[in-house]
């Protein structure tokens, strides 16, 4: 599966440290550490909780009775007692054998996100890990050392085992990593260069390092951050297309939206009212001579679709917040000192919402592409030249830009097929139902990249259409977005190399630059 790194504007601002305690980190914390290399600090409450739960593990390690994960094997070998002399080798063997990923390298920000979330669970005091091991894990993050994690290996049950095992392997000074500069090198060399010592794992620690939903949750957190921007940018794109197509803003009235109390729809309709306020183009055709009664659904129903997508993000955010507050490990050390097996590592809650979001992403992109196509069709674009070409017949204009959007939308529809219903058994049928949450996260990540490109193509198309409406001018907000587009993309003219222009506008959609331009005139949009 194709994966991408998120394009972000360059910044020289040093991010504030993120303190990880016994409580949850936030989506904003995940973004700060994963994307902006915010330093990680260990809270005093976490230090005390880790020390207390480790004392429980050390007592049980001396017991002659078997305790899962402490003095036994794992999975289908959970009934096999392991002598004390072999337990360090047991933990190391667990990590080495589970670091079995294959395929393309996973993005740096994804790896850093999952590492922060695993550290957060370690610091709840429910995993029995040693404080020194947690400190060493934080040391990897703060040194900018990123273990190389491969695309395939997680089934999303017993956690994201292979991705987390690759990270634990680096903690042991084994495997391969990238340093802060992006250079690939052996983990032992990277640790030495950073002044860090490899960790010799003790009882329970191998399990504690790999048994979580952190990979899928980290990607969900990053996705929620990105979709807040992109779904608002979809409203910006729709507003520009509505102007370009001489559409009406009357359908977005507050009293009409209030007849259907869907919160996301009402927020989107309010955004569109602000974005189209004061538009000379909209005002130009609000006359008795205008005979059109209704706009096409891709214009008129934008709040209904964009709003439903927003509501899906809100639901996914609630699930993410609960998972961020969770202590996922098996077994866990309870508050009263018991060590108990459980099934909390099953990724179903996270997997479901990752799949829900992929559906919303595909549908918002599909509606965007329909608006783009409408602007290029002289039978439907209310007086604009075919394909917005400079010399129709000689020039093709933006014809193939729409092909690109259509091809992306077709892929997004395939990516909207849920991964979470595709369980496949493993571990000699001990793990006979799995969530596939990692795979749901991977396809959502690709989908978000595609959505940014489709919205970019719509905004690029609408910008050319608005220029062709001269001497009529767009409203203040859409005009500000048009000016931002023109910083990197020239206006109408003879055919030219379009690919760099698409990349420029897509990057501006993804980074939030287009939304920010609109908000200079509207204030904060939903």
* Backbone φ/ψ region at 418: left (φ over 0), alpha (ψ -120 to 50), beta: beta
Beta strand extents in 338-474 (DSSP E only)? 339-340
Rounded-to-integer distance, Cα 13 and Cα 352, Å:
36
Q: Strand 40-42 relative to strand 102-105: parallel, antiparallel, unpaired?
A: unpaired
The alpha carbon of 300 is separated from its chain's Cα centroid by a whole number of angstroms, namely 29
Q: What Å distances lie between residue 445 and 2, 309, 409, CA to CA?
A: 9, 16, 14
Residue 377: Cβ within 10 Å count: 12
As to burial, measured by CB atoms within 10 angstroms (0-12 exposed, 13-18 middle, 19+ buried), residue 460 is buried
Look at the alpha carbons of 285, 286, 292, 297 in this order and tell me if their dihedral is positive or negative. Answer: positive
Tokens of 289: 């001579």
CB count in 10 Å sphere of residue 8: 14
DSSP state, residue 72: B
* Active-site entry in 68, 152, 297, 526: 68
- Going from the C-alpha of 91 to that of each of 94, 169, 253, the distances in angstroms are 5, 11, 62
Contact by Cβ (8 Å): 448, 3: no
CA atoms in the 13 A half-sphere facing the CB of 252: 28
Residue 68 is a catalytic residue: yes
How many whole angstroms separate alpha carbon 495 and alpha carbon 243? Answer: 24
Cα separation, 54 vs 125, in Å, equals: 8
Q: Which one, of 262, 352, 349, lies nearest residue 311 by Cα? A: 262
Q: How far is CA 351 from CA 293, 393, 418, in A?
A: 43, 49, 9
Report in angstroms the alpha-carbon separations of 54 from 50, 132, 152: 6, 11, 32
Question: How many Å apart are CA 205 and CA 513, to the nearest integer?
Answer: 44
Residues 6+ apart with CB under 8 A from 405: 365, 368, 369, 372, 453, 454, 457, 458
**Measuring CA to CA, how many Å separate 90 from each of 96, 153, 229, 343?**
10, 21, 46, 22
Contact between residue 361 and residue 231 where contact means Cβ atoms under 8 Å apart: no
What CA–CA distance (Å, rounded) separates 306 from 266?
Answer: 10
Cα(503)–Cα(509) distance, integer angstroms: 10
Q: Which residues are catalytic?
A: 68
């Amino acid at each position: 599966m194709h994966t991408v790194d998120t394009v972000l504007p360059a910044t020289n601002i040093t991010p504030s440290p993120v303190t990880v305690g016994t409580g949850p980190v936030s989506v904003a914390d995940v973004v700060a550490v994963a994307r902006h290399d915010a330093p990680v600090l260990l809270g005093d409450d976490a230090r005390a909780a880790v020390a207390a739960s480790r004392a429980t593990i050390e007592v049980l390690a001396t017991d002659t009775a078997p305790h899962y994960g402490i003095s036994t094997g794992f999975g289908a070998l959970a009934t096999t007692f392991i002598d004390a002399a072999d337990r360090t080798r047991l933990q190391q063997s667990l990590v080495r054998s589970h670091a079995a990923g294959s395929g393309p390298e996973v993005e740096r920000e994804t790896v850093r996100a999952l590492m922060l979330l695993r550290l957060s669970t370690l610091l709840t005091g429910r995993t029995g890990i040693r404080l020194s091991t947690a400190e060493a894990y934080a040391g990897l993050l703060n040194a900018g050392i990123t273990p190389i994690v491969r695309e395939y290996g997680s089934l999303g049950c017993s956690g994201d085992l292979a991705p987390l095992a690759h990270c634990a392997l680096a903690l042991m000074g084994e495997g391969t990593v990238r340093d802060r500069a992006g250079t690939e090198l052996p983990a032992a060399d990277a640790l030495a260069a950073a002044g860090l010592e490899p960790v010799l794992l003790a009882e329970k620690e191998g399990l504690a390092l790999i048994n979580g939903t952190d990979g899928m949750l980290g990607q969900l957190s990053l996705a929620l951050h990105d979709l807040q921007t992109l779904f608002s940018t979809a409203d910006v794109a729709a507003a520009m297309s509505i102007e370009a197509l001489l559409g009406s803003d009357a359908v977005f009235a507050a009293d009409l939206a209030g007849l259907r109390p869907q919160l996301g729809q009402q927020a989107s309709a309010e955004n569109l009212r602000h974005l189209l306020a004061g538009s000379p183009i909209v005002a130009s055709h609000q006359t008795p001579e205008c005979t059109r009664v209704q706009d096409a659904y891709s214009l008129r129903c934008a709040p209904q679709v964009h709003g439903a997508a927003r509501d899906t993000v809100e639901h996914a955010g609630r699930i993410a917040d609960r998972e961020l507050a969770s202590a996922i490990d098996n077994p866990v050390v309870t508050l009263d000192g018991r060590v108990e097996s459980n099934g909390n590592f099953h990724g179903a809650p996270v997997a479901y919402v990752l799949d829900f979001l992929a559906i919303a992403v595909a549908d918002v992109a599909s509606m965007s592409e329909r608006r783009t196509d409408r602007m290029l069709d002289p039978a439907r674009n209310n007086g604009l030249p075919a394909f917005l070409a400079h010399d129709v017949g000689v020039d093709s204009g933006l014809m193939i830009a729409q092909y690109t959007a259509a091809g992306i939308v077709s892929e997004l529809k395939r990516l909207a097929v849920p991964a979470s219903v595709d369980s496949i058994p493993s571990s000699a049928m001990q793990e006979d139902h799995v969530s596939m949450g990692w795979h749901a996260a991977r396809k959502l990540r690709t989908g978000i990249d595609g959505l940014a490109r489709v919205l970019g193509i719509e905004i690029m198309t609408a910008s050319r259409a608005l220029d062709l409406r001269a001497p009529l001018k767009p409203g203040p907000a859409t005009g500000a977005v048009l000016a931002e587009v023109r910083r990197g993309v020239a206006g109408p003219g003879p055919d030219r190399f379009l690919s760099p222009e698409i990349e420029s506008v897509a990057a501006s959609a993804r980074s939030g630059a287009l939304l920010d331009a609109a908000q200079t005139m509207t204030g904060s949009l939903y």
